Amino acid sequence: MDGERIKVLLVEDDGDSRELLAELLEDDFDVTTAADGVAGLKAFEDTHPDVVVTDESLPGMNGTELAQQVKEREPKARVVLVSGYAQVDGAEYCDAVLRKPIDVERLSRMVGELGDAARH
At residue 110, what is the residue type?
A: M
If residue 66 lies in a helix (H) or strand (E), which one and from where to where? helix 63-73
pLDDT at 18: 96
Q: Is residue 108 part of a domain?
A: yes
Strand partners, 97: 81
Burial class (CB in 10 A: 0-12, 13-18, 19+), 66: buried
- pLDDT, residue 1, reads 42
| pLDDT of res. 2 | 53
CATH number at residue 73: 3.40.50.2300
Q: Does residue 1 fall inside a structural domain?
A: no
> Which ranges in the chain belong to alpha helices (H)?
15-25, 37-47, 63-73, 104-118
Total domain count, the chain: 1
Per-residue pLDDT in tens (0 to 9) along the chain, 120 residues? 457 999 999 999 999 999 999 999 999 999 999 999 999 999 999 999 999 999 999 999 999 999 999 999 999 999 999 998 888 999 999 999 999 999 999 999 999 999 999 998
Domain hosting 26: range is 7-119
Q: Is 75 part of a structural domain of the chain?
A: yes
- Cα(28)–Cα(18) distance, integer angstroms: 16
| Packed helices 37-47 and 63-73: angle between N→C axes, nearest 10 degrees | 20
Contact call for residues 110 and 96 (beta carbons, < 8 A)? yes
Residue 100 maps to a domain: yes
Q: For position 59, what pLDDT does the model report?
A: 93
Tell me, yes or no, whether 2 lies in a domain.
no
The amino acid present at 120, given as its one-letter code, is: H
Task: Look at residue 40 and tell me if it is in a domain.
Answer: yes
